[in-house]
Structure 1
Amino acid sequence: MEKSIAVNLEKCGVFLVFITPQIVNSEYVRKEISFALKKKKPFFAIYLKETKLPTELEFEIADIQAMMMYLMPKAEFYAKLKELLSNSLNN
């Protein structure tokens, strides 16, 4: 399974991570984030809920563009996400 995840991450044009309190301690999510950063993939963090990141993860993704979905009206969130993805995939 890990090989399949790595292969698909290698192929992806943009890496999105959906942040919730439940995922912040997931070893697999941390590996995926590290892999995407190492491969210099365009990367966006989308917070589905207010979430306190562990210090190491906070440091690792400090320079990553983030969207606080839980604070935005859905229409605004989807419009901004569409714009971000379009810009990232066209560059």
Structure 2
Amino acid sequence: MASVPLVVDLDGTLVRTDTLHEQALALAKEHLPQAFLLPAWLLRGKAHLKQQLARRVSLDAGTLPWPWRWGRASWPGWRCTSC
């Protein structure tokens, strides 16, 4: 039997937060001056905001508030978000 990957959206499903908010907080923590650009990026649209955040910060999945601990899954899986 072929292995079928499981792809699941993260926000509000597998994590108890919004990864967009987590990335904005990470930007403020790591690059505070750039955080002041958030409103300008948002004026160009949510997709533009997400793109700019993705260019500047990456989230450590281990720091996200998972409802359980991810052990070794018996199937290949990807945890996805639009960020």
In the superposition, the TM-score normalised over structure 2's length comes to: 0.27
More RCO (CA 8 Å, sep 6+):
2
Whose helix proportion is higher, 1 or 2? 1
Q: Which has the larger Rg?
A: 2
In the superposition, the TM-score normalised over structure 1's length comes to: 0.25
Whose strand proportion is higher, 1 or 2? 1
